[in-house]
Amino acid sequence: MKNNRLTATTIIFLSVFFLTQKAIGQLGFCNGNSGDAIFNETFGIGTGQSALPIGTTTYTYANGSEPEDGFYTVSNTSNFFDWFILEDHTEGDTNGKMLVINSDFTSGEFYRTTISGLCVNTSYEFSSWLVNLTPSTGFCGAGAIPINVSFEIWDSTDSNLLASGSTGNLGSLPAPEWLQYGLVFQTLPGQTSVILKMKNNGVGGCGNDLAIDDIVFKSCGDNISIADPLTNNMVSLCSSQTPYSTSLSVTPDNSVFSTHFYQWEESIDGITWTDIIGETTQNITINGITDTRYYRSKVAESFANLNNDLCNVVSEVFQVDVTPLPPTPTLACWETVTINNTTCSWDIIGTQPIQPIVACWETAIFNTTTCTWEVSGTQPLQPSGLQCWETTTFNTTTCEWDIIGDQPFNEETEFVNFCQNETITLQATTDIISPTYTWDTGQTTSFLEVDASGIYTVEVTDGCLTTIITFTVAQLETPLIESVTSRGNDIVVNTSNTGDFEYSIDGINYQNTNVFFNVEGGLYTIYIKANGCNDIVTTLFLHFYIPQFFTPNNDTNNDTFDLKVIQYFESSEVYIYDRFGKLLKSSKNKSFSWDGTFNGSPMPTSDYWYVIIIDGQRRVGHFTLKR
C-alpha cells in the first residue's frame, strides 16, 4: 500500500566508493563536483494516472484503479488504500507526478531505462528519491512489510554490472519521509550509454508499497577552487582604479580525477563563456581590465573530454567587478567634490545655509548672489459673519482660518434580526430630554412595530439636539435542506440557502456544525432551524456505511462486522472472501453481521474482501480483522 509526500526531505549520505572497470559500487554520492543533470526523470505533470513507456516495467498498469500487488501507476497523488497522501518530490511542480509501486508477491525487477549520451572513461553519479507509503499507524500495523529496493547500473550490452547497491529494509513510519539514494560509477572505454535497473527485494502483501521520483544522472569530478595571490575569489573596483591586472590559479581537490587538463574561459555576463586561446595551464595572468569580467577554468580527466560539457567540470568563478564612476556632478557655489574609490562616487563637501523658521504665510527664497534666505508674506485676515455657535482657529497647515462648530447633531445605527411569521418592536432610545419622534413611516411614537425586512429611520429632537437612528431589519431565513449524505461513518447535511442554522439528529440536542461525526448506521430524522427561531425543518435519512475494521476479542467494542440498515434497501447481497478468494459468509435481502469465524473457527488477523450489491449497485473493497 502507498504513502504521501513530505515537505521535509531526508538525504541519506554514505561514503562514496569509486569504481574500476571490474569493481562493484556501493550506495553513495559524488564527493567532488557533481555538475548539472544530464538526465532527469520527474515522471511529468498533470492530473489523473498515466502509464510508463513500453519496456520500462514488468508490472501491470493500474489504469485508473487502485494499484494492487504487482501493479503500478504514474500519478500526482498516492491517495490509495490507507497509504500516506502526499505530493511528488520534484520542487516547484504543479500537479507533479511520481511512480507509485505496489510490490509484487515475489521479488524482482520493476523499472529499467537506458541513459545515453555519456562520455567514455568518465565518473558519473546516479541518484533517486523514494518513500515508504505504508503508515505504521495503518491497517498493517507493526507487521507491515518493509520496502527494500536495489539499484543496478549495467553497460549497454546488459552483461557488465558497473555499480549496485541496496537500501536494505526500510520500515513503516508514522509520517512519510522522502529518502535519497545514489551510486557513483565509471563508464568503460568506448561506452556511451548504460542501463539503470531497480528491483524489489521484498515480498507482496500488507506493506512494501513505495513511490519513486527525480531519477538524476550527473557527471562527477573534482571540486575546483579559484583565487588570486591574496586568496580572493573576487575583486570590486571603481573605474577610476582601472586598468587592472592580476594572476589567477585553480586548485583541484583530487577527490575524483587522477589527471587534470585545463582550459580557461572568460565572460562579460557570467552566463556566456568564451575560451581564452592558449590558456591551458593551472595559472593565468589577466591584464588591462577596464570593465566587469568573469573568469573560470574547465577541467577534465582526459584531453579528449575537455570541450565536452557532459564530461568535464568547471571551477569556481572569479569576478572582477568594475563600477563606472558617474560624471562629475553640478555643484552649488558653496560645494566642493572628491572621488571616493570605495563607493565609486563623488563625495560632495559643503552645506547650504540653514533655512530660517517661517510662518505658514511666509515664503523663504534662497538668494544665490547674497547666499542668504529672504522672507516675505502677510498673515490672512480673520473671517467675519460667524454663526453664534462658531469659532475660528488659524490653521498653520492650510494657512487659513478654520471655522469650528456645528449645529448639534448625532447619528446612530442598529441592526435587528427577527424570525419568519413574527413581528418586532423597534424602540428609539436617546439621552435627549423631552424629545419628539418622527419615523419615516409618519408615526410619531417612540417605538414602531414591523413585520418585514428593510431600513427604518426615526428623527429624535428637542429643537436643539437632534439624533437620527437608523434600524436595519433582516428576517432570518428558514433553512432549506438540499442533501443529506453519508461520509464514512459521518452524516453531512447541506442546505440550499445560507444562514445561522442549528442541526440535530434527535430533535433535542442541537449543534452549529452541519457534520455529525462517528454516527452508527441507522434510520435518522434530521432537524434544522434558524438560530433563535422555532420553525423546524425535518427529513428522514438512511445512514449506511461499511466499517474499515473490527476486533472480535469479546470486549463488546467492534466485536462484529455489521452492515447496519442494509435490510431497509429493496434488494441486497453481501459476500465476504479471504485474500485467496475463498467465500466465508454471504447473505441476501436481510441484515448482515459476521463474527470473524468460518465453520466455527476464528479467522486470523488479515485483510478480507467484500462484494456488496445494493439495489443493483456493486461495491468492492476490503476491511481488516484485528485480534
Helix or strand holding residue 398 (H, E): none
All three cell numbers of 612, joined, read 456488496
Q: How many CB atoms lie within 10 A of CB 258?
A: 7
The distance in angstroms from the start CA to the end CA of the chain is 21
Residue 178's pLDDT is what?
95
Each residue's pLDDT tens digit, 53-88? 999 999 999 998 999 999 999 999 999 999 999 999
Q: Report residue 196 as a C-alpha cell.
A: 539503470
pLDDT tens digits along 572-611: 999 999 998 899 999 999 989 999 999 999 999 999 999 9
Neighbours of 61 (CB within 10 A): 16
> Looking at residues 530-535, what average pLDDT do you find?
88
The single-letter DSSP state of residue 268 is S
DSSP conformation class of 493: E
Query: How far is residue 459's CA from residue 473's CA, in Å, rounded to a whole number?
Result: 17
| DSSP letter string, 177-188 | -EEEEEEEEEPP
Average pLDDT over every residue of 220-227: 91
Note the pLDDT of residue 149.
Answer: 95
Task: Read off the pLDDT of each residue in 469-485 and give the average, rounded to a whole number.
Answer: 91
Would you state the pLDDT for residue 26? 40
Q: What would the 3-class secondary structure string for 498-512 be?
A: CCCEEEECCCCCCEC
Q: Are 282 and 261 in contact (CB under 8 A)?
A: no
Rounded to an integer, the average pLDDT of 224-244 is 93
Strand partners, 394: 401
CA distance 392 to 401: 6
CA angle 181, 182, 188 (to 5 degrees): 160
Cell numbers found for residue 81: 488504500
What would the pLDDT profile of 156-174 be if each residue is shown by its tens digit? 999 999 999 999 999 999 9
d(CA 349, CA 569): 95
Tell me, what amino acid is at 276? Answer: I
Give the three-class secondary structure for 240: helix
Question: Which residues make beta-bridge pairs with 275?
Answer: 265
CA 507/CA 446 separation, integer angstroms? 40
pLDDT for position 387: 63
Has this prediction a pTM greater than 0.95? no
The predicted structure's pLDDT at residue 54: 94
Could you count the other beta carbons within 10 Å of the beta carbon of residue 477? 17
Amino acid, res. 561 = F
- Residues 27, 181 contacting (CB under 8 angstroms): yes
| Phi, then psi, of 304 in degrees rounded to 5 | -65, -25
Which pLDDT score, from 0 to 100, does residue 9 have? 30
E strands of 290-397, at which residues? 293-300, 313-314, 318-323, 336-340, 345-349, 363-367, 372-376, 391-395
What the block records as the C-alpha cell of 121 is 572513461
| Model confidence pLDDT, tens digit, residues 265-323 | 999 999 999 999 999 999 999 999 999 999 999 998 888 788 887 788 899 999 999 99
- Spatial distance between the Cα atoms of 249 and 246, rounded to a whole number of angstroms: 10
Find where cell 478468494 sits.
Answer: 581
Confidence of residue 24 (pLDDT cuts 50, 70, 90): very low
pLDDT of residue 537: 93
- pLDDT, position 71: 95
pLDDT recorded at residue 44: 94
| 2 pLDDT higher than 70 | no
Q: How confident is the model at residue 564 (pLDDT cuts 50, 70, 90)?
A: confident
Residue 141, C-alpha cell as written in the block: 500495523
**pLDDT per residue as tens digits for the range 420-444:** 888 899 999 988 888 999 999 999 9
Provide the grid cell at 177.
Answer: 519521509
Across the chain, what does the average pLDDT equal?
88
Four-CA torsion 103, 108, 111, 116, nearest 10 degrees: 160
More confident residue, 17 or 533: 533
d(CA 250, CA 350) in angstroms, rounded, equals 48
Task: Please give the Cα distance from 192 to 187 (Å, whole number).
Answer: 7
Q: What is the pLDDT of residue 488?
A: 85
Number of H helices, E strands in the chain: 0, 49
DSSP state letter for 352: P
The pLDDT value recorded for residue 382 is: 86
Q: How confident is the model at residue 33 (pLDDT cuts 50, 70, 90)?
A: confident
Beta bridge mates, 219: 124
Distance, CA of 112 to CA of 445 (rounded, Å): 89
* Helix ranges, 341-483 (H): none
480-528 tens-digit pLDDT: 999 998 888 899 999 999 989 999 999 999 999 999 999 888 889 999 9
